[in-house]
Amino acid sequence: MISTETTASAATAGAIAVLVGGLIVVGALIWAVRFGIKVRRSESAVPRRGQHPTLPESGPVHESSEVREANEVPRTHGKGERLTPHELRHSASRRSDHQSRPRWDAGSGEAR
């Protein structure tokens, strides 16, 4: 008889624990929804149709492409010396004198 009462009280305690846990989860979800609504109200409104940016009168801007060449890293004068930042160039590449794109020979794997 004692084991039956213990089992019943453990089952009741488990059910109460599940109920309390469920109430905590429901309370957290309600709080999260209310907090989300509060944040949404404080944000700026979505722009209307006339407020969006428009294309310039000249039309859409097109991308441009150019062939670039890498700048060589300058060499130091003696062994053990190092380059300081002011001795380096400002850009890693420069515009190439030849703007024709290299073409591939069929089946060779090399550009001509």
pLDDT tens per residue, range 25-36: 999 999 999 999
User: pTM of this prediction?
Assistant: 0.39
What is the reported pLDDT for 110?
Answer: 62
Q: How far apart are CA 101 and CA 35, in angstroms?
A: 57
Buried b (16+ CB within 10 A) or exposed e, 20-29: eeeeeeeeee
Give kind and range of the element (H or E) at residue 89: none
Q: How far apart are CA 21 and CA 14, in angstroms?
A: 10
Q: How far apart are CA 80 and CA 8, in angstroms?
A: 83
Mean pLDDT across 90-102: 77
Residue 37 has pLDDT above 70, yes or no: yes
Secondary structure letter of residue 91 according to DSSP: -
Mean pLDDT across 41-50: 88
